[in-house]
Amino acid sequence: MASSLESTPAPGTLSPGSGTGTESVEQFDAIVIGAGVAGLYQVYRLRELGLSVRGLEDGAGVGGTWYWNRYPGCRFDSESETYGYSWSKELLEEWNWKEHYSGQPENEKYLNFVADKFDLKKHYKFNSHVTSIVYDERANLWNVGTENGQHLRAQFVVAAVGILSARYLPPFEGLDTFKGESFHTSRWPAEKVDFTGKRVAVIGTGATAVQLIPIVAQQCKHLTVFQRTPNYCAPLRNGLVSEETQNRWKANYPELHKMIRQTPAAFPYDFDRRKVSDVDKEERIKIYEELWAQPGFKKWLGNFRDIMTDRAANEDFAEFIRNKIRQRVKDPKVAEMLVPKDHPFGSKRVPLETNYYETYNRDNVQLVSVRESPIERITPNGIKTSDREYEFDVIIYATGFDAITGPLTRIDIRGEGGAPLVDHWAKGPRTLLGLQTAGFPNLFIATNTAFCNYTVCAEAVVEWISEAIRYVRANNYSRIVPTPESEQAWVDHVNEVGSQTLLSGTKSWFVGDNIPGKAHAILLYANTAPAYRAKIAEVAAKGYEGFQLN
Ligand code: N01
């Protein structure tokens, strides 16, 4: 019986550089954890600085998110031409995107292409799940341990562990008793899963499930979707990239990169400078229809400027989407189940979809509200809700992630005085600029925690970290670490900015509320991406203001 729930099966084959078991202690200038978008670039930059670097990666190959999330339908929700790296002119010239919103197989190929082009794989040990990162104060070195017994030491550690890499599997009773196949979307097997003739359950209706559901519905005998909270899903409007468009991108990449670095979330569109109330109802509907016809996140991030801050303005567009859902779903009862009413539009990540709502018009698809009849347990034959037992051959858990903090707090990280990171972050993440934590010198976090198109701000973060490490070494310092005061000031600022948006009042992974028992705290920096990048640049220009160097 196939299952992706037990361990972390490696979807690919073992690479020649894979860790093989207990080895002696190896020492490097820097260790980079992760071979995703940020990790690969970090290894490249540190190598360029002349450091000895070891990369450690849980998977058997490069790709991070694009290695693990192989579920059917997985693809960028960002425009392909904005998601690729911007730092190599040659790379931009050589790579052709096939689709406007590129799919997982192509994205994994792209990151392999990058890793091969810049000869990055040789720095990595794959199948190396990092379990501990412990600071040795006397030696000013970090000890890094892996599940398969590797032990490494380095002065600098960069955790490029991603923000959505620690899967969340709800602790349903009886989870292990199911006799069919079960999969978590973020640990999908490399082999194609055959749904032909099968009765399939999907638990969850977030951005992942919304990509997966229409495809599985076409392949299986019967699909039952277990929904707790309906989302405001909007059409992706994907398409193939013509040669002409590809050539236009290549000729204009510098202008494109300049432009997206000026927009609030690094997408190729900006908010309308007007407020909802500046425009009369008839004109507004016209504008909403135009936005609706556009691809990608424009309906969200190209909308009126107050939709993310003003509840009444938000409600105007929310009602527009609700009506779109009602028009697309034939059965009014099912349509009403799919209409979100308990949170503002865009206060959770907006899932982008292709035929998602039409899928509920199919005869072989059923929607179950687990708000009305909660899941009580997983049984050997399927799922038991408070209502009845459903029988399945396959259960798909599209239940999300312990976002942003999870990838770090699941590692045993101990800083000065042996203090565990998990204690320091008990009430939410505590960092300066999302980059470093007080008490954890020379440990950097290379993930994009700004509200920003992932690669764009990940590049900025990697470049900042690389320059900080260069600065430390060039000036004969041995350590860089935030002062507790500057860390507190940043935490206060992040909370203050978050409280001015509609994000903080809605239950989602943005605020940790999707994980039972996790502290409620805004996990993203909800200011604009240009403001974030300006802030980190300013701190560096002022000799790393707020950081202690010694
Ligand atoms: O996870 P989610 P996701 N019983 O947390 C439900 C990124 N992404 O993997 O909403 C029943 O959004 C939960 O219900 P509720 C993107 O940033 C990017 O879908 O908590 N249901 C929800 O419906 C996204 O935001 C792309 O009430 C339970 C679902 O599981 C992030 O990944 C594509 C439950 C989880 O939704 C996460 O998306 C896809 C329970 N006990 C994703 N527990 C691209 O752009 C949870 N749920 C490529």
Among 346, 356, 276, residue whose Cα is nearest residue 324: 356
DSSP bridge partners of 179: none
The predicted structure's pLDDT at residue 1: 37
For atom 3 of ligand 1, the residue with the nearest CA is 400
Distance of CA 342 from the midpoint of ligand 1 (Å) = 16
Alpha carbons within 13 A on the beta-carbon side of 466: 21
213-252 per-position pLDDT tens digit: 999 999 999 999 999 999 999 999 999 999 999 999 999 9
Among 427, 504, 436, residue whose Cα is nearest residue 469: 436
Does residue 18 carry a pLDDT above 60? no
Alpha carbon separation from 191 to 72, 112, 178, 440 (Å, rounded): 11, 19, 21, 41
Q: Among 66, 267, 399, 455, name the best residue to mutate to test ligand 1's pocket (greatest count of ligand atoms within 8 A of Cβ).
A: 399
Residue type, position 533, single letter: R
The predicted structure's pLDDT at residue 9: 39
66-95 per-position pLDDT tens digit: 999 999 999 999 999 999 999 999 999 999
Q: Residues 339, 326: contact at Cβ < 8 Å?
A: yes
Does residue 445 carry a pLDDT above 50? yes
DSSP bridge partners of 156: 30
Q: Residues 287, 274: contact at Cβ < 8 Å?
A: no
Q: What is the mean pLDDT of residues 173-201?
A: 97
pTM: 0.95
The predicted structure's pLDDT at residue 268: 96
Among 80, 133, 96, 71, residue whose Cα is nearest residue 422: 133
- Of the pLDDT bands very low, low, confident and very high (cuts 50, 70, 90), residue 23 is low
Rounded distance between C-alpha atoms, residue 428 and residue 385, angstroms: 33
Beta-strand runs (E) in 93-150? 124-125, 130-136, 141-146
275-319 per-position pLDDT tens digit: 999 999 999 999 999 999 999 999 999 999 999 899 999 999 999
The predicted structure's pLDDT at residue 15: 30
Left if phi > 0, otherwise alpha if psi is -120 to 50, otherwise beta: which for 194? Answer: beta
Distance of CA 303 from the midpoint of ligand 1 (Å) = 24
For atom 48 of ligand 1, the residue with the nearest CA is 76
The predicted structure's pLDDT at residue 6: 56
Among 54, 65, 72, 83, residue whose Cα is nearest residue 217: 72
Does residue 502 carry a pLDDT above 90? no
The most distant pair of C-alpha atoms in the chain lies apart, rounded to whole Å, by 71
Q: What is the mean pLDDT of residues 150-169?
A: 98
- Of the pLDDT bands very low, low, confident and very high (cuts 50, 70, 90), residue 504 is confident
Left if phi > 0, otherwise alpha if psi is -120 to 50, otherwise beta: which for 546? Answer: left
Q: Residues 121, 60: contact at Cβ < 8 Å?
A: no
Q: Kind and range of the H or E element at 311?
A: helix 311-328
What's the CATH number of domain 8-62+120-165+403-549, 3.50.50.60, 3.40.1000.10, 3.40.50.1220, 3.30.420.40? 3.50.50.60
Distance of CA 364 from the midpoint of ligand 1 (Å) = 23
For atom 39 of ligand 1, the residue with the nearest CA is 208
- 3-state secondary structure at position 439: coil
Write down the mean pLDDT value for the chain: 95
Share of the chain above pLDDT 70, in %: 96
Rounded distance between C-alpha atoms, residue 438 and residue 485, angstroms: 9
Q: What is the mean pLDDT of residues 1-28?
A: 52
Q: Residues 486, 298: contact at Cβ < 8 Å?
A: no
Left if phi > 0, otherwise alpha if psi is -120 to 50, otherwise beta: which for 233? Answer: beta
Within 6 A (CB) of ligand 1 lie 75-77, 164, 170, 203-209, 211, 226, 228-229, 349, 370, 375, 398-401, 509, 514
Q: Among 71, 75, 163, 164, name the best residue to mutate to test ligand 1's pocket (greatest count of ligand atoms within 8 A of Cβ).
A: 164
Q: Using the 8-state DSSP alphabet, how is residue 345 labeled?
A: T
HEC secondary structure over 380-432: CCEEEECCCEEECCEEEECCCECCCCHHHHCCEEECHHHCEHHHHCCCCCCCE
Does residue 14 carry a pLDDT above 50? no
* Lowest-pLDDT range of 5-9, 189-193, 282-286, 416-420: 5-9
The predicted structure's pLDDT at residue 8: 43
CB environment 540-549: b (16+ within 10 A), e (fewer): beeebebbeb
The predicted structure's pLDDT at residue 505: 87
| CA 342 to the chain's CA centroid | 24
Radius of gyration of the chain (CA): 23
Rounded distance between C-alpha atoms, residue 46 and residue 470, angstroms: 9
Q: Kind and range of the H or E element at 28?
A: strand 26-33
Does residue 16 carry a pLDDT above 50? no
The predicted structure's pLDDT at residue 12: 32
348-391 per-position pLDDT tens digit: 999 999 999 999 999 999 999 999 999 999 999 999 999 999 99
Helix 454-474, helix 529-541: angle, nearest 10: 0
The predicted structure's pLDDT at residue 4: 63
User: Which structure tokens are listed for 203?
Assistant: 């638990």
Rounded distance between C-alpha atoms, residue 515 and residue 50, angstroms: 41
- Of the pLDDT bands very low, low, confident and very high (cuts 50, 70, 90), residue 5 is confident
Beta-strand runs (E) in 34-178? 53-56, 124-125, 130-136, 141-146, 151-159
For atom 14 of ligand 1, the residue with the nearest CA is 228
Does residue 13 carry a pLDDT above 60? no
Distance of CA 400 from the midpoint of ligand 1 (Å) = 4
The predicted structure's pLDDT at residue 324: 98
Rounded distance between C-alpha atoms, residue 190 and residue 208, angstroms: 17
The count of other CB atoms within 10 Å of the CB of residue 240 is: 9
* Lowest-pLDDT range of 13-17, 103-107, 455-459, 515-519: 13-17
Does residue 328 carry a pLDDT above 90? yes
- 3-state secondary structure at position 352: strand
Rounded distance between C-alpha atoms, residue 271 and residue 258, angstroms: 17
Ligand 1: which atom is nearest the Cα of residue 375?
4
Distance of CA 329 from the midpoint of ligand 1 (Å) = 22
Alpha carbon separation from 419 to 134, 135, 382, 438, 481 (Å, rounded): 9, 9, 43, 11, 15
Instruction: Phi first, then psi: give them for residue 72, nearest 5 degrees.
Output: -60, 130
